[in-house]
Amino acid sequence: MTLPTLPLLPTAVIGSHGQPGWMWLTREAIAQGRLGPIDRQEAWEDATRLALADMTEAGLDVIATGEMGRASFIVGFYERLRGIRNLEQPRRLGVPHWDTNVPLEVVDRISAPNGLGVVEEFRMARRYTDRPMKATVPGPFTLCIPLKTGGPYKDRGTLMADLVGIVNAEVKALGDAGADFIQIDEPNFVMYRGDLPDLVQVFNEAVEGVKAKLALHVCFGNLNGRPFPAVRSYRHLFPALHGVRADQLVLEFANRELADVGLWKEFPSDKELGAGVIDVKSFKAEAPEDVAARIREVLKFVRAERLWINPDCGFFETPRWIAVAKLRAMVAGARIVRKELGAA
């Protein structure tokens, strides 16, 4: 399968959509054991249909599932992995931040006998829309970050190899399920200061044998609206990042006043750029002209036919009504620039 013909400057999302308020109440009820499997499935499907409708009504060219069934970004995936156990939460008082997440210890050979659940998520969403849609999968490096090496693993390299196998199996299954556009999310790439070819090799092994349009998403994290690293720059990842076997790199720019966008001209590539022009960490929705101005700036460094328009990151940490307003502004801003470029 291939994506249908898209307009110049296609608009897309990263993955997650702003959750409806009642979904938070549903999560509380699930934690309290008040819902049965049919109740949980119904809530998940209803929330997904709402997310798909929001993205479609906003006018997006390529939508995603909305990731309504996921707990945070990757936390829920560890419930599907065997061979790990929860450790004590390091800090429980005060403002929720990166150090209030529960760390995990590997105690046995890690596996995902029933997959990561992304295939089921994609199949369910596909039943409710025929629009171009991409599937989103957490990358092995990002999955590895909170895991404390133990059990049969003496180093992170052997642990990473098994995580690569888990992700590769999920991505292949997505292809078999009809996903023709798959995005691997690796926000924690920016935390890595080691041998960059290792990152490239990990990604390439994770997508080995996959026949689909592939994207790599790298941002700076968004937990409770906060990034992770103290220094937010992609410079140390270039030009090695161009070595990944992906058709598209999806990067965060809006929250950093378009810093690093010039790297695309400094290190030319034939890959597409999914440029983040919507700041998901800001509370106020951009105006369409704000978005258009950002797109014009990006076009100084990237050819229009190689440029996609998207938010910096997903909208899980964003109130739904603001997420919808931001998506509408993004689509309107892209249309302004298309008209200036003489595109239909």
Q: Crossing angle of helices 288-298/320-340, nearest 10°?
A: 50
Any domain includes 222: yes
Any domain includes 250: yes
Number of domains into which the chain is organized: 1
Distance CA(332)–CA(114), nearest Å, equals 41
The residue count of the chain comes to: 344
Any domain includes 85: no
pTM over 0.75: yes
255 Cβ neighbours under 8 A, 6+ residues apart: 220, 227, 276, 279, 280, 281, 282, 312
**Count helices and strands in the chain by DSSP H and E runs:** 9, 10
What is the domain range of residue 161? 21-70+115-145+157-340
Any domain includes 294: yes
- pLDDT by residue for the chain (344 residues), tens only, comes to 467 889 999 999 999 999 999 999 999 999 899 999 999 999 999 999 999 999 999 999 999 999 999 877 788 899 999 999 988 888 888 877 777 777 899 999 999 999 999 999 999 999 999 999 999 999 999 999 889 888 899 888 899 999 999 999 999 999 999 999 999 999 888 877 665 558 899 999 999 999 999 999 999 988 777 887 778 899 999 999 999 999 999 999 999 999 999 999 999 999 999 999 999 999 999 999 999 999 999 999 999 999 999 999 999 999 999 999 999 999 999 999 999 999 76
Strands (E) in 219-305, as ranges, are: 248-251, 272-278
Any domain includes 92: no
Q: In this structure, what CATH number is given to the domain that contains residue 45?
A: 3.20.20.210
Any domain includes 75: no
Any domain includes 134: yes
Question: Which H or E element spans position 199?
Answer: helix 196-206
Any domain includes 6: no
